[in-house]
Amino acid sequence: MKFLTRYPLVVVTWLLLSLTLIAAEKQWTGAAQNVPQITTIAVSGTWATGNQASVTCNNKAVIVTVGADILASDIADIFARAINSVNATNNIKTDETRNVGGYEYGEFRDMVATNSGDDLVLTSAKLADVSYSPFTVSVAVISGTGVLTLPGSNTQDATGKHHLDNPDNWSGGTLYAAGDTLVFGDVSTDVRWGLANAVERLSLVRTNSFTSNLGLESTNLNTPAMPYTEYRAQYVVLPNTAITGDQVVVLGDAGSSVTAIGKTKIDFGTVAGNSLNVTINDSPAFSSTTGAAVTIVGGNTAQTVMNGGSTRLGGAVDDTATRASVHRLSGNAYVHITDQCETLGVIPTQTIYSGTLIDEGKGSSGGLTQYGGSVFSRRTAGTPGTVTLYGGVFEAGEDVTTLKVHGGATFGVKAGESITVTNATAYTGYTINDLNNQVTWTNGIDFVGGKPSDGELNVQDSQTWTPSGL
The pLDDT, as a whole number, for residue 6 is 42
CA distance 453 to 306: 37
Q: Say yes or no to pLDDT of 22 above 80.
A: no
pLDDT tens digit sequence for 361-418 = 877 777 899 999 999 998 877 778 899 999 999 999 999 999 999 999 999 999 999 9
Q: What percent of the chain lies above the pLDDT cut of 90? A: 69
Q: What is the mean pLDDT of residues 285-299?
A: 87
The pLDDT, as a whole number, for residue 144 is 97
Q: Say yes or no to pLDDT of 21 above 80.
A: no
The pLDDT, as a whole number, for residue 466 is 72
The pLDDT, as a whole number, for residue 314 is 80
The pLDDT, as a whole number, for residue 369 is 94
Find the helix or strand (DSSP H, E) in which 72 lies. helix 72-84
List phi, psi (to 5°) of 352.
Answer: -115, 110
Q: Say yes or no to pLDDT of 23 above 80.
A: no
The pLDDT, as a whole number, for residue 34 is 98
Name the pLDDT band for 19 (thresholds 50, 70, 90).
very low
Q: Which residue has the higher pLDDT, 450 or 140?
A: 140
The answer to whether the beta carbons of residues 232 and 110 sit under 8 Å apart is: no
The pLDDT, as a whole number, for residue 16 is 34
pLDDT tens digit sequence for 47-101 = 999 999 999 999 999 999 999 999 999 999 999 999 999 999 999 999 999 999 9
Most confident region among 16-20, 180-184, 345-349 by mean pLDDT:
180-184
Q: What is the mean pLDDT of residues 258-279?
A: 83
Q: Say yes or no to pLDDT of 424 above 70.
A: yes
Q: Contacts for 316-323 with beta carbons within 8 Å, 24 or more apart?
A: 316/218, 316/340, 319/235, 319/267, 320/267, 320/269, 320/270, 321/297, 322/268, 322/296, 322/297, 322/298, 323/272, 323/298, 323/299
The pLDDT, as a whole number, for residue 411 is 98
CA distance 421 to 404: 11
Q: Which residue has the higher pLDDT, 276 or 198?
A: 198
Going from N- to C-terminal start, the domains of the chain cover 38-149, 167-459
The pLDDT, as a whole number, for residue 274 is 58
Q: DSSP readout, 215-237?
A: S--SEE-SSTTS-EE--S--SEE
CA distance 383 to 403: 12
Q: What is the mean pLDDT of residues 33-49?
A: 98
The pLDDT, as a whole number, for residue 273 is 60
Surface-to-core class of residue 100, CB atoms within 10 Å of its CB (0-12 exposed, 13-18 middle, 19+ buried) = middle
pLDDT tens digit sequence for 141-169 = 999 999 999 999 999 999 999 999 999 99
The answer to whether the beta carbons of residues 115 and 76 sit under 8 Å apart is: yes
pLDDT tens digit sequence for 308-357 = 999 988 876 555 556 666 778 888 899 988 887 776 544 567 899 999 99
Number of CB atoms found within 10 A of residue 281's CB: 22
Number of CB atoms found within 10 A of residue 455's CB: 22
The pLDDT, as a whole number, for residue 298 is 80
CA distance 323 to 240: 11
Number of helical (H) and strand (E) elements in the chain, helices listed first: 3, 35
Q: Say yes or no to pLDDT of 4 above 70.
A: no
CA distance 236 to 243: 19
Q: Say yes or no to pLDDT of 39 above 70.
A: yes
Kindly report the average pLDDT of the chain as a whole number. 88
